[in-house]
Amino acid sequence: MMGPEALLRHERPIIVCGIAAVFALSWVYIWQGAGMGMSALDMTTLSLFPHRQTSMEGSMEASWRIVAAMWWVMMIAMMTPSATPLVLLYSKVLERQSGPMARRYAATSLLMAGYLVVWLAFSVVAATLQKMLEPAGLISGMMLWSRSAALSAGVLAAAGLYQFSGTKRACLTQCRSPVRFLTQYARPGIGAGFMLGMRHGAFCVGCCWLLMALLFVGGIMNLIWIAALMLFVLVEKLMPAGATFGRVSGALMILWAGATLLV
């Protein structure tokens, strides 16, 4: 039987298991409804035009804190898989520097913490926006998907056009090139890991924020849309033709926006 020191030497498997545990717990929380008062399965539907669907009247009346927590856990569930290559590469870099094992684990953990703090900031903004859209009748207070063709078309068109922007291209380049990112921004020290994670999180938000805004269209707790966006991000960031995939998808989103106004 291996002792604690022997176990700690298997750094990458431990890190992968830790990320997988966070990912799994996040999805369990979402599946159970993320404190919104209904199961996520009850708020899930397969529809290209959610605003055309009839939904139950009423509101869940969840507090702003619960809504912000829901968004943050949802971002953790959707974004941690695409951040895993950077975390593992950073761990390998630290291992080659031959520092104390505890220090390497702390720096790697702080990298992930910094990354998730940036998504927490995004979640605060998203939760505030959700709380503004629901009373205005633009989002169903019960099912949490769009009730407005104009809102749906506007978000789809904005997300599609953003796929062709220079900002999107610059942020995606950083997200797709963890070696380049670490070469450019990595600094020594435990605290530097946290700042590195925040920087990568900022690039990630810059790359994906309008994709995440599509949840206002399809349903903030719609499991199909959540899973589809997670897969979209993975393909765009990790696959060889990810950048091309993103541009083609952007064109389709623009066409989808036009169709939304016509149905």
123-159 pLDDT per residue, tens: 999 999 999 999 898 998 888 899 999 999 999 999 9
Give the model's pLDDT for residue 2.
Answer: 42
Residue that wins the pLDDT comparison between 128 and 9:
128
Q: Does residue 122 surpass a pLDDT of 90?
A: yes
User: Which residues have CB under 8 Å from 96's CB, separation 6+?
Assistant: none
**Over the stretch 70-115, which tens digit does the pLDDT of each residue have?**
999 999 999 999 999 999 999 888 877 766 666 778 888 999 999 9
Q: Does residue 245 surpass a pLDDT of 90?
A: yes
Contact indicator for 75, 119 with CB cutoff of 8 Å:
yes
What are the C-alpha distances in Å from 223 to residues 29, 56, 59, 61, 118? 12, 18, 19, 21, 23
- pLDDT band with cut points at 50, 70 and 90 for residue 210: very high
As a whole number of angstroms, the distance between CA 193 and CA 101 comes to: 15
Q: Does residue 244 surpass a pLDDT of 50?
A: yes
Q: Does residue 189 surpass a pLDDT of 80?
A: no
Residue that wins the pLDDT comparison between 103 and 31:
31
What is the crossing angle of helices 64-96 and 223-238, to 10°?
30
Give the model's pLDDT for residue 10.
Answer: 61
Give the model's pLDDT for residue 35.
Answer: 84
182 burial (CB, 10 Å; 0-12 / 13-18 / 19+) is middle
Average pLDDT over residues 242-257: 97
Residue that wins the pLDDT comparison between 229 and 14:
229
Give the model's pLDDT for residue 5.
Answer: 46
Local structure of 44: helix, strand or coil: coil
Average pLDDT over residues 207-214: 97
Give the model's pLDDT for residue 8.
Answer: 47
Scan for tokens 């520097």, then name that residue. 97
**Over the stretch 70-81, which tens digit does the pLDDT of each residue have?**
999 999 999 999
| DSSP H stretches of helix in 37-100 | 64-96
Contact indicator for 232, 211 with CB cutoff of 8 Å:
yes
- pLDDT band with cut points at 50, 70 and 90 for residue 3: very low
**Over the stretch 154-180, which tens digit does the pLDDT of each residue have?**
999 999 999 999 999 999 999 999 999
Residue-range domain boundaries for the chain = 4-262
- HSE of 8 in the Cβ direction (CA atoms, 13 Å)? 11
**Over the stretch 42-76, which tens digit does the pLDDT of each residue have?**
888 888 898 888 765 566 678 899 999 999 999 99
Residue that wins the pLDDT comparison between 192 and 205:
205
Give the model's pLDDT for residue 100.
Answer: 62
